[in-house]
């Protein structure tokens, strides 16, 4: 397993990659009858490089989504958009 993991402090920038496949957590929402009028949801997604969805799992808690991501895909290569390659701009991010 990789030493680097996705956690609450980096989940918006980090993912796991295996060849053309990416595994990461995404934020979503659904209408709700609470004060905010919304229920926040977290999706464990596996996509290809073109962001075509291969699989998804829905979680109500971020911690549960991150635990599932790290357990199931933690052996894949860890990538973080905050750790850029040489160069500037989005196209130089390791996550892409």
pLDDT at residue 94, rounded to an integer: 53
Calculate mean pLDDT across residues 7-36: 96
Q: What is the mean pLDDT of the chain?
A: 88
pLDDT higher at 22 or 85: 22
Question: Is the per-residue pLDDT at 30 higher than 70?
Answer: yes
Give the other-Cβ count within 10 Å of 68's Cβ: 16
Confidence of residue 89 (pLDDT cuts 50, 70, 90): very low
Tokens of 24: 């990461």
pLDDT at residue 90, rounded to an integer: 54
Select from 8, 23, 17 the least CA-distant residue to 79: 17
Can you give the pTM of this predicted structure? 0.81
């Amino acid at each position: 397993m990789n030493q680097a993991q996705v956690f609450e402090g980096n989940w918006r920038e980090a993912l796991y990659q295996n060849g053309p496949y990416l595994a990461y957590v995404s934020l979503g929402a659904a209408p709700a009858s609470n004060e905010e009028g919304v229920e926040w949801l977290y999706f464990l997604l596996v996509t290809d490089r073109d962001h075509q969805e291969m699989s998804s799992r829905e979680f109500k808690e971020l911690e549960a989504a991150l635990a599932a991501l790290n357990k199931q895909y933690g052996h894949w290569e860890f990538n973080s958009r905050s750790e850029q390659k040489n160069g500037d701009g989005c196209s130089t991010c390791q996550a892409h």
